[in-house]
Amino acid sequence: MSNHFTGLSLGPPLGDQRLDLCDLYVFGAPGDPSRTVLLLNANPNADAMHPDAVYRLNIDNDGDDLTDIAFSWVFAPPAADGSQTYSVFMATGAESRKPEAVGTRIVTDAAVSFDTKANVVVSGDYRVAAGSRSDAFYFDFDGVQNLFDTSGNRNFTVPHLGGDSPWTGVDSNSTANVFSMAVEVPTATLAPDPDLRVWGRCSVLRDGELVHADRAGHPSVSSFFNTDDTKEEYNASEPADDRARWTDQFVHLLGHTGGYSREEAIAALDEYGILPDVLRFDPARPAAYPNGRTFTEDVIDIRLAFLTRNEAPPTGLSPHADTLDHFPYLGDPHPATAS
């Protein structure tokens, strides 16, 4: 989860797991406050990526919710042996708002890593990687289903509170892998004023044009606040339009999950900066969600506390212990499980 599914439909964007954005992380490089790390995870199958897609990290550095810097990953078609290469582009200003992979090419035809050794590419001041890694996101999927009344409605609505704990104590992601796209850059290059607003975007070529298939900002916001009927529109929409388009839907859900009045819901959304759905990061402060995001925050606990006004019990799960203190930070992928 985080954004591993929307509602309880479990359906990937446009029916293709390769287009599914799972998680977004932003934090200062350990031991070097002058550098910032951005990771965009996708494809819970952790196999080859879509050759007709553009996977992008959008960065707004002046607070208008429009892209000022974009890092775009594009992937070649997989070879017969399953190997794949990728290139990365960096665009700035108006050019960064184009859907195509444009700008300066900072990586060219680098090898995707599917085994335990990450292929780290150093390009000037940038470190870049792409490939299968251990998924750091932890959650109790069965517990989430136990918590919410989904009879007749495959989206999150009324939580079961006050009885036995819904949690099973089982981390559903303990041996999961994910495809990770990582970049580490000098913070000064991102020019935060005073902070950064970051979101992921996946677009895919359809009938000769790029169609926005998914996006990722706040962890689990898209998963909990969307419905099966609205997820495609939400995934295709832009953060600058979020408040006008999605406030009413978010307010409606909070009325069900936490008994919020409209005024209370709007105040809570504003307090926690949920709309627009972008991950804010002030590099001058320690990273911990909602100031960026690291691998240790229990974002499901945080989100459920928000939805239920602190009525949902904590999950009791612990962060994964296999993350690294060096680039690309996510742990080596788990061995494939025989089917």
Q: What is the pLDDT of residues 192-207, one digit of tens each?
A: 999 999 999 999 999 9
CB 18 within 8 A of CB 42: yes
Closest by CA position to 185, among listed 114, 322, 88: 88
Cβ atoms within 10 Å, residue 13: 24
Query: What tens digit of pLDDT does each residue of 241-262 get?
Result: 999 999 999 999 999 999 999 9
Residues of the chain scoring pLDDT < 70: 1-10, 149-157, 337-339
The per-residue b/e assignment along 138-152, b for 16 or more CB within 10 angstroms, e otherwise, is bbbbebbebbbeeee
How far from each other are the two terminal CA atoms of the chain, in whole angstroms? 22
**pLDDT of amino acid 155:** 58
Residue spans of the domains in the chain: they are 13-308
**pLDDT of amino acid 336:** 79
Give the Cα separation of 14 and 52 in Å (integer).
Answer: 13
Q: From residue 231, how far is each of 30, 38, 111, 139 by CA, in Å?
A: 35, 25, 33, 22
**pLDDT of amino acid 2:** 44
**pLDDT of amino acid 10:** 54
Alpha helices in 202-321 (DSSP H): 221-225, 231-236, 242-258, 262-271, 299-308
The pTM of the full predicted model, rounded to 2 decimals, is 0.95
**pLDDT of amino acid 148:** 81
For the chain, percent of residues with pLDDT exceeding 70: 94
**pLDDT of amino acid 337:** 61
Per DSSP, 289 falls in state T
Closest by CA position to 336, among listed 116, 21, 78: 116
